[in-house]
Structure 1
Amino acid sequence: MTAPAQAAEAIASPREQAARLLVTARQKGALVERLPVELQPANVDDGFAIQQEVSRQLGRRTGAWKCALPRPGKVIAAPIYDADIHRGLACRMRGSPRGSVRAEPELACLLDRDLPPRREAYGEAEVLDALGDTHVALELLGSRYAHPEELTFPELLADGLFNAGLVLGPRVRLLDGATPADLPAEFNVSLSGVGEEAVTLAGRHPDRGVLAPIVWLANFVRVRGLGLYAGQAVITGSYAGVLELPVGRELRIGFGELGTLPLTLLF
Structure 2
Amino acid sequence: MEPTADALAALLHRARSGRTLLDGAREATGLSLDEAYAVQDRLTALRLGEGRRRVGWKLGYTSAVMREQMGVDAPNHGPLLDDMVLDGTVAGGGAEAAGHLHPRVEPEIGIVLARDLAGTGLGIADVAAAVAEVRACLEVVDSIWLDYRFTAAQNTADGSSAAGVVVGPVLDVDPAECHGIPVELTGDGTVLATATSAAAGGHPLLGVAWLAGELAARGRGLRAGELVITGGLTAAVPLRAGHALAARFGTGAVVAVRRPAGETDAGCAPPP
Question: Secondary structure at 2:129's aligned position in 1?
Answer: helix
> What corresponds to 1:199 in structure 2?
191
TM-score (normalised: structure 2): 0.77
Using the TM superposition, name which of 151-160 and 253-262 deviates more.
Answer: 253-262
Question: Secondary structure at 1:136's aligned position in 2?
Answer: strand
The Cα offsets for residues 205-230 of structure 1, whole Å up to 9 and x where unpaired, read as: 14121111110100101110222112
> What corresponds to 2:97 in structure 1?
92
- Alignment-mate amino acid for residue 43 of structure 2: V
Superposed counterparts of 1:110-121, under 5 Å: 110-116=112-118, 121=120
- Alignment-mate amino acid for residue 153 of structure 2: P
Structure with bigger gyration radius: 1
Superposed counterparts of 1:67-78, under 5 Å: 67=59, 74-78=74-78
The 1:91/1:41 distance shift into structure 2, 3 A limit, reads: farther
Q: Residue 243 in 1 paired to residue 237 in 2? A: yes
How much has 1:85 moved relative to structure 2? 1.1
> What corresponds to 2:56 in structure 1?
64
Structure 2 residue runs of 5 or longer lacking an equivalent are: 89-93, 264-272
> What corresponds to 1:52 in structure 2?
41
CA contact (8 A) 1:250 1:263 kept: yes
Distance 2:55 2:233 in 1: 22
CA contact (8 A) 1:113 1:131 kept: yes
Q: How many aligned residue pairs are there?
A: 240
How much has 1:189 moved relative to structure 2? 0.6
Alignment partner for residue 42 of structure 1, among 9, 27, 31? 31
Question: Secondary structure at 1:161's aligned position in 2?
Answer: helix
Alignment partner for residue 5 of structure 2, among 15, 24, 49? 15
Distance 2:154 2:245 in 1: 33
Alignment partner for residue 208 of structure 1, among 202, 221, 235? 202
- Alignment-mate amino acid for residue 41 of structure 2: Q
Question: Secondary structure at 1:94's aligned position in 2?
Answer: coil
Percent of aligned pairs sharing the same letter: 26
RMSD: 2.8
Q: Residue 144 in 1 paired to residue 138 in 2? A: no
> What corresponds to 1:7 in structure 2?
none
CA contact (8 A) 1:18 1:40 kept: no
CA contact (8 A) 2:239 2:258 kept: no
